[in-house]
């Protein structure tokens, strides 16, 4: 999987590739990427969006279909198991946590 993603990322322009790797593989925040690359926050978002559009194109999508199917099955299984053991799904748990975080931030 990682090799397929590396191959696709290598097709992107250098700035887009670097932003994607920092954001998604290093789990860096947009502010960290801004500081590391020395570019404005809006430019980081713009580069991310351009890279995502390119990765969504049909020729790239086909190369990742098998990987996407594996991920979808994994999340489905996790959601169903969570529902059976707790009475609610993983999506509901994440939504509740996000709402709590947003509520705490607003206060």
Over residues 91-103, mean pLDDT: 73
Provide the pLDDT for residue 70: 45
Q: Above pLDDT 70, what percent of the chain?
A: 64
At 10-28, the pLDDT tens digits run 989 999 999 999 998 888 9
* Closest to 79 (Cα-Cα) out of 94, 64, 99, 67: 94
Residue 105, pLDDT above cutoff 60: no
Q: Give residue-wise pLDDT tens across range 47-79.
A: 999 998 888 776 777 776 655 554 454 455 555
Rounded alpha-carbon distances, angstroms, from residue 41 to 12, 28, 30, 48, 76: 20, 13, 7, 11, 34
Is 102 exposed, middle or buried (CB count within 10 Å of its CB: 0-12, 13-18, 19+)?
A: exposed
Angstrom distance (rounded) from CA 78 to CA 91:
10
Pick the CATH number of 1-56 from 1.20.140.150, 1.10.3720.10, 3.40.220.10, 1.10.10.10: 1.10.10.10
Please count the CA atoms within 13 angstroms of the CA of 36 that sit on its side-chain side.
14
Q: Which has more pLDDT, 106 or 36?
A: 36
């Amino acid at each position: 999987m990682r090799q397929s993603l590396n191959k696709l990322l290598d097709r992107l322009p250098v700035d887009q590739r670097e932003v994607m790797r920092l954001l998604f593989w290093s789990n860096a925040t947009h502010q960290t990427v801004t500081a590391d690359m020395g570019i404005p926050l809006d430019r980081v978002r713009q580069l991310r969006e351009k890279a995502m559009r390119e990765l969504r194109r049909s020729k790239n999508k086909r190369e990742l279909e098998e990987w996407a199917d594996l991920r979808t099955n994994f999340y489905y299984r996790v959601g169903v198991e969570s529902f059976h053991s707790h009475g609610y799904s993983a999506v509901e748990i994440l939504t509740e946590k996000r709402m709590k975080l947003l509520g705490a931030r607003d206060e």
